[in-house]
Amino acid sequence: MDLMSKLTISASMLLTGFAIVFGVLLFLILVIWGYGRIISSAQTKASNRTKKRAKIEKIAVKTVEKSGNMAAPVKTKPVITPKTSDEISDELVAVISAAVYSIYGSKDKVKIKSIKKSSGRSAWANAGVLHNTRPF
């Protein structure tokens, strides 16, 4: 192969490779970004709809209560629930309560007064992150 043919094949391969690899991957960026946006907005709409429905149901219950058409409330012992923020789900409260109960049992009188989400990363979480991201 003479020098000219070597230069020709080298330049055409560099140009073709560069153009196709970048072209295809840039196209993929657009596609992934696009469908990510579509799915995110669809999911946000769905969650808004659920919230709206819950709000309507709440208003409906209140209206029925005001009109006095409700059955007499059943008297039960008040259940003391721990103070929690909105971020903590009922399931999480149940799990934590069950864990506390499994340790102390019913004999010890233990109350969970509140469950709070800690702001920073705890020492245990830091240890976990370090363990999982330690390179070598």
Partner 1 sequence: MEIIQNFIDAIVGIFRESGLMSLGWQNYVMIAVACVLFFLAIKKQYEPLLLLPIAFGMLLVNLYPSIMAAPETTLMSAEECIAAKGTVEGYATTIMDGVTYYNVPHYGGLFYYLYQGVKLGIYPPLIFLGVGAMTDFGPLIANPKSFILGAAAQIGIFVTFIGAIFLGFTNAQSGAISIIGGADGPTAIFVTTKLAPELLGSIAIAAYSYMALVPIIQPPIMRALTTKKERAVVMEQLRPVSKLEKIIFPVVIVVIISILLPDAAPLVGMLMFGNLLKESGVCDRLSKTAQNELMNIITIFLGTTVGATATGANFLSFNTLKIIALGLIAFMMGSAFGVVFGKLMYKFTGGKVNPLIGSAGVSAVPMAARVSQKVGQEENPGNFLLMHAMGPNVAGVIGSAVAAGVLLNVLK
Q: Which residues would be at the binding site for partner 1 (CB under 8 A)? A: 1, 6, 9-10, 13-14, 16-18, 20-22, 24-29, 31-33, 35-36, 39-40, 43, 129, 133, 135-136
Gap between the Cα atoms of 110 and 113, Å rounded: 9
Of the pair 28, 98, the CB lying nearest partner 1 is at 28
Q: Closest separation between CB of residue 22 and partner 1, Å?
A: 5
Nearer of residues 25 and 103 to partner 1, judged by Cβ: 25
Nearer to partner 1, 26 or 70 (CB): 26
Q: Which residue has the tokens 């009109």?
A: 67
Nearest CA among 99, 93, 73 for reference residue 81: 93
CB of 85 to partner 1, least distance (A): 20
Q: Give min distance, CB of 39 to partner 1, in A.
A: 5
Based on CB atoms, which residue is closest to partner 1, 9 or 99?
A: 9
For residue 96, the minimal CB distance to partner 1 (Å) is 23
84: Cβ contacts below 8 Å, ≥ 6 apart = 93, 114, 115, 116
Rg of the chain, C-alpha, whole Å: 30
